[in-house]
Amino acid sequence: MSETLAKYIPDHAVKPAFELIVTHRVHLKIVNERATRHGDYRKAMNGKHEITVNGSLNKYRFLITLIHEIAHLVAFEKFGRNIKPHGNEWKYTFQQLMVPYIRPEIFPGHLLPLLARHFRNPSASSDTDTTLSLALKQFDAQNDKNYIFEIPYDSVFRIQNGKIFKKGALRIKRYECVEINSGRMYLFNPNAEVELLPS
Residue 164 to residue 184: CA distance in whole angstroms: 11
Give me the sign of the Cα torsion angle 137, 56, 187, 159: positive
Distance CA 133, CA 128 (A): 7
Decide if pLDDT at 35 tops 80: no
pLDDT at 149: 86
Band (126; pLDDT cuts 50, 70, 90): confident
Q: Please, what are the domains in the chain?
A: 2-137 (3.30.2010), 146-196 (2.30.30.30)
The pLDDT of 80-105, averaged and rounded, is: 94
Q: What is the pLDDT of residues 129-157, one digit of tens each?
A: 888 888 888 898 777 788 888 889 999 99
Q: What pLDDT is attached to residue 36?
A: 65
pLDDT digits (tens, 9 = 90+) for 3-17: 899 999 999 999 999
For residue 179, give the H/E element and its range.
strand 174-179
Question: Running DSSP on this structure, what letter comes out for residue 8?
Answer: T
116 beta partners: none
106-124 burial string, b = 16+ CB within 10 Å, else e? Answer: bbeeebeebbeebbeebee
- Residue 4 backbone phi and psi in degrees, to 5: -65, -45
- 190 vs 30 pLDDT, higher one: 30
Contacts of 78-84 spanning 24+ positions with Cβ under 8 A: none
Amino acid at 93: T
Question: What are the start-end ranges of the E strands in 12-147?
Answer: 26-31, 39-43, 49-54, 146-147
Please, what is the end-to-end C-alpha distance for the chain in angstroms?
49
Confidence label for 167 from pLDDT (cuts 50, 70 and 90): very high
Computed over every residue of the chain, the mean pLDDT equals: 90
User: What pLDDT does residue 116 have?
Assistant: 94
Residue 43 confidence (pLDDT): 87
